[in-house]
Chain A
Amino acid sequence: MSAQLAQFLLSGLTVGAIYALVALGFCIIYNASHVINFAQGEFVMIGGMAAASFLGAGLPLPLAALAAVALAALIGMALVKFAVEPARGASVVTLIIITIGAAILLRGLASIVWDKRIHALPAFSGEQPIEIAGATLAPQSLWVIGVTALIVAALWWFFNRTLTGKAILAVSHNRLAAQLMGISVRRVLLVSFGLSAALGALAGILIAPITFTSWDVGVMLGLKGFAAAILGGMGSGPGAVLGGLTLGLLESLGAGYISSAYKDAIAFIIILVVLVLMPGGLLGGRATERV
């Protein structure tokens, strides 16, 4: 394997892991409510920005990261409480527009509470690059990939082994039946929005040392996360991870071998082709429609 290829693969996996985390956030909210949460990218921004400002206020990095994740989770829950729940009974499209409004609101708030400059977090464990197969890898990339793997394992455990996780799955399969079994849909919504927001914030903190962060990074990262979730098959957890990694690799290989200006275009063309050939995404089941 040439060193160049290894380099592209490594950077693709790093970015892909971030997309996977954002995509998982989309997925969890979609399963609980069938809403595409367009504010998901803003949680990524809040994670990075809040961690940077807590760090600036003198908190040590682990505490700052924890506080930023908690803040994002609270905002996520507030979004359900004050925006999604009052609009109960509205169509899904209306709910999606509400999340777009929330995204604009959060972006506006971020530009006031913080500022419109670019911020950076220090790398978690130094800048000394590691050499693998002739390619260099920043330690931060290991953090990104490692934490993502850990989160995926934890989510699997949560959804398969805990009562709350199973309740969320039940609601995603059949809301009414779940309600009849005594599951509180309100609580499920609260937990899923909180969890998604926390995942987004974590992604924002992990990537901030590599790509920096500012009040408007949420737009692009949210968009890529959505693309990854759809590529994998909306609502499928493994699909979200696969979609994220695929998108990251496509981008980095496209940028490396074809054209860096067109790397996003290449990724989107391949997504279009995949969707035309597999209308339910890579891991989306063959849908049957009841008439």
Chain B
Amino acid sequence: MLALIAGVALLPLALANNYHYEIAILVGLNAIVCVGLNLLIGYAGQISLGHAGFFGIGAYGSAILTARYGWPPLAALVAASAAAAALAFAVGRPILRLRGHYLAMATLGLGIIISIVVATEDRYTGGPDGMSVPPLALAGFTLAGERAWYWLVGALLVATVWLSLNLIESPVGRALRALHGSEVAAEVSGIDSARHKLLAFALSAAIAALAGALTAHYAGFITPGKVTFLHSIELVVMVVFGGMASTFGAVVGAAVLTALPQLLTVFKEYEMVVFGSVMMLTMIFMPRGLVPTIAALAARRRKAP
């Protein structure tokens, strides 16, 4: 935790220009989504291939409320996140009874339905062309500039990680880990598994929506590309890549996979080839993900004389 705070606080020393800040902000926003998603995938053991849908509800919800209805951005942001959580709550009850690949399919379908609605209802969303979003402002003070955004996103990331770490150590977190191990055993010991799964699902949806809304306000423009099935997959890949059931793993996974494509632009048309290869090789040689594998290595070295 202290390492993360120090990292967020010291990173600006290494950021030379606005472009670096921009990447850092995008990393932070993705990391926030992944920390939330990790609660669901890594701890509760429930897969979701539809989180880009919740991200999109946050982004478009906040964008539409501010741009079309003149809401203050902060209220719109909260309302959009609440809407995502409410939807997750309503849909989660029936679909979280599904297991494994069937749950993956159901969440995937949910995400796709949301993305189709976003792309089709162009009166509200601007359709495939996207729509512009007003900047974040509170009581006449407008948040502008890469630096201000960096500190906001950094603080939120620290808060999300803190929330996640505390939740995992709480009775709720223990219940989540128990039902990941064995749902039947958890139920036998008195854990209401449906309620806990639903809680993790709704919480991760709300966090994704919050990050989505912030992304929209930060970029000032939003297109349906951020709501697609591919983005959902990307988010899951970040969580697994960094290491499932590791909060810092989610942060590292988001950081590596967000920054890597930016670095790989030097390869031009070979970008996808290199990106795919890096992903495959990492998972082949570090099947448990970056952070747990490196942590295990470090522990072994410490034990050796």
Which residues of A does B touch, CB under 8 Å? 36, 38, 83, 86-87, 89-91, 93-94, 97-98, 100-109, 111-112, 219, 223, 226-227, 230, 234, 261-262, 264-265, 268-269, 271-272, 275-276, 279-281, 289, 291
Q: Which of the residues B95, B237, B271 comes within 8 Å of A276, measured between beta carbons?
A: B95
Q: Which A residue sits closest to B116, measured CB to CB?
A: A265
Given contacts A97-B237, A272-B109, A279-B97, contact A103 B276 (CB under 8 A): yes
Minimum-distance CB pairs A-B, first 5? A108-B272, A105-B276, A101-B279, A90-B287, A104-B276
A102 and B280 within 8 A (CB): yes
B211-252, CB < 8 A from A: 229-230, 233, 236-237, 240-241, 244
Given contacts A87-B287, A112-B270, A276-B95, contact A94 B240 (CB under 8 A): yes
A36 and B101 within 8 A (CB): yes
Q: Which B residue sits closest to A36, measured CB to CB?
A: B101
Given contacts A265-B113, A279-B97, contact A291 B244 (CB under 8 A): no
Q: Which B residue sits closest to A269, measured CB to CB?
A: B113
| Nearest Cβ on chain B to A155's Cβ, whole angstroms | 21
A261 and B120 within 8 A (CB): yes
Q: Give Cα A275–Cα B97 distance, bound, in whole angstroms.
A: 10
On chain B, the residues within 8 Å of A280 by CB distance are 102
Given contacts A101-B279, A104-B276, A108-B270, contact A87 B284 (CB under 8 A): yes
Q: Give Cα A161–Cα B102 distance, bound, in whole angstroms.
A: 31
Interface residue B98 (Cβ < 8 Å from any Cβ of A)? yes
A100 and B237 within 8 A (CB): yes
A97 and B105 within 8 A (CB): no
A272 and B106 within 8 A (CB): yes
On chain B, the residues within 8 Å of A279 by CB distance are 97-99, 102
| Nearest Cβ on chain A to B127's Cβ, whole angstroms | 10
Q: How large is the interface on B (under 10, 10 to 19, 20 to 34, 35 or more residues)?
A: 35 or more
B244 and A93 within 8 A (CB): yes
Q: Give Cα A271–Cα B113 distance, bound, in whole angstroms.
A: 11
Q: Give Cα A108–Cα B280 distance, bound, in whole angstroms.
A: 14
| Nearest Cβ on chain A to B31's Cβ, whole angstroms | 18
A111 and B272 within 8 A (CB): yes
On chain B, the residues within 8 Å of A102 by CB distance are 276, 280
| Nearest Cβ on chain B to A9's Cβ, whole angstroms | 24
Q: List 8 A-B contacts (CB under 8 A).
A: A38-B233, A97-B236, A100-B237, A105-B273, A111-B272, A219-B229, A262-B120, A279-B97
Q: Which A residue sits closest to B240, measured CB to CB?
A: A97
B256-305, CB < 8 A from A: 269-280, 283-284, 287-288
A275 and B102 within 8 A (CB): yes
Q: Which of the residues A91, A94, A223, A234 comes within 8 Å of B101, measured between beta carbons?
A: A234
On chain A, the residues within 8 Å of B240 by CB distance are 93-94, 97
A109 and B99 within 8 A (CB): no
| Nearest Cβ on chain B to A54's Cβ, whole angstroms | 22
On chain B, the residues within 8 Å of A276 by CB distance are 94-95, 97-98, 106
Given contacts A83-B284, A105-B276, A289-B184, contact A265 B102 (CB under 8 A): no
Q: Which of the residues B105, B116, B182, B274 comes within 8 Å of A230, measured between beta carbons?
A: B105
On chain B, the residues within 8 Å of A83 by CB distance are 280, 284
On chain B, the residues within 8 Å of A264 by CB distance are 112, 116
Q: Give Cα A279–Cα B99 distance, bound, in whole angstroms.
A: 8
| Nearest Cβ on chain A to B231's Cβ, whole angstroms | 12
B272 and A272 within 8 A (CB): no
A101 and B276 within 8 A (CB): yes
| Nearest Cβ on chain B to A174's Cβ, whole angstroms | 18
